[in-house]
Every structure is written in C-alpha cells, then in structure tokens.
Amino acid sequence: MRAIDLNAASRDLLGPCCSACSWWLTRPGVQAGPGVRGEWEREAEGEAGLFGRALLDGDAVIGWMHAAAPRLMPRARYLPAGPPSADAYLLTCAYFYDEEFLHGFRFLLQEVEAALKHRRVAALEAFGLRHIRDDDAFRGYLSDLNLFNPDVLEGGGFRRVQEKGEVARFRLDLAALVEAPRRSMAWERLEAPAGTAPV
C-alpha cells in the first residue's frame, strides 16, 4: 500500500460523495455557491501543496482523508468543542470503501501526520465523539455524524483538549512525533479488503 497527496493532479481519485462536498466550507444555514469546492482545493493546495492524502493498493483506491488549515473550514468555527486552534491543521473527514478497515485507516492517518510534520505544521486536530458507540468500534470515521472515533484518535496519540455535549476536540502535537521508516514487512504483507475501487 502507498499514500499519495491529494491535489489537482490526483483529485480524480475521489469518489462522487467527496469530490463535490462543501459541508466544511460553509457556515450553518448557508448554501455553497458554484465553484466553492474548487476554490477551496486550490487555496489549500497553494498553502501546503495538498488538501489531504489517499491510500492506494496497486491501482485500487482504498480511501482518503482531508486536512487543511482551520481558516479554510468555516464550519469548524460553529461545531461544539470548537473552534480549532489557529496553529493546527484540521482533519475534517475520511472515506474508506471498507469502513471497518482500521489498519488502513491508521496507516493513512500516520501518512497525513508525516506529510504535515514535513511541512512544519505544529499540530493536527480533529472533532470526534466523546464516547464511541458499540456498533462503531471498528470504524475510524463516523460518516453519519461527521465525527471521528475517539478511541482510534487517542490510540494514535491524540489528546482531548475540549468537550461540549457529545463532541470532543482532539489534538496531536506533530513536533513530538519521531520520524521512523514507514515501510515494514508487516505493512508489505497487509492486504487491502475486498471492495476497493480501481482508479
């Protein structure tokens, strides 16, 4: 498996559910105008060279994650436990064709963290549930809620920085991460689940 940056050259890897999504790009009650998504991608890419990363197994797309500076995500200012810290990037969402492929989710999350650390981003934050529901224990991202699994985030080194109602904001200080080889025999043997999408 390998991860690649999401940018203008690779955005065709995104499925229809994400390629036109503008939920994070608008305030509550405001409808996105035409071209908002494209403008956001160009601005995010212009700032960091990417607006997320995608995970591939050969020619098959396994999933992807989006991340960008909070100032580019107007919705984040209105979420419970927000707003995100000004020095952090915000992990907004993730999509996997197999929602319970946690090994792939964790692998791609580490790749996003490494890419942002390389770009000298101070921290990565994400919104998640305060407590995971039993039925969602093996899902890294809860697409029906637009929130992440708190157990997966905390298992990856994130810490809770604020809570309100059923929502918590989590933070990972990227400066504390130690760089290590990302390839290993274990990852080479890891197989993607059935149902991944060909490019």
Residues 6 or more apart whose CB falls under 8 angstroms from that of 198 comprise 59, 60, 61
Of the pLDDT bands very low, low, confident and very high (cuts 50, 70, 90), residue 62 is very high
Is residue 132 helix, strand or coil? coil
Domain boundaries, the chain: 2-198
pLDDT tops 50 at residue 199: no
pLDDT tops 50 at residue 187: no
Which amino acid does the sequence have at 44? Answer: A
What's the chain's length in residues?
A: 199
pLDDT tops 90 at residue 91: yes
For 26-47, what is the mean pLDDT?
A: 89
pTM recorded for the entire structure: 0.86
For 178-197, what is the mean pLDDT?
A: 55
Percent of the chain at pLDDT above 70?
Answer: 89
Residues 6 or more apart whose CB falls under 8 angstroms from that of 85 comprise 70, 123, 125, 161, 171
**How much is the pLDDT for 198?**
44
> Residues 106-124: pLDDT tens digits?
999 999 999 999 999 999 9
Q: Which CATH architecture has domain 2-198?
A: 3-Layer(aba) Sandwich (3.40)
pLDDT tops 80 at residue 191: no
The percent helix, strand, coil of the chain (3-state, each to 5) is: 35, 25, 40
Q: Quick check: 126 and 94 in contact, CB under 8 A?
A: no
DSSP code per residue over 166-179? TEEEEEEEGGGPPP
Q: Quick check: 174 and 117 in contact, CB under 8 A?
A: yes
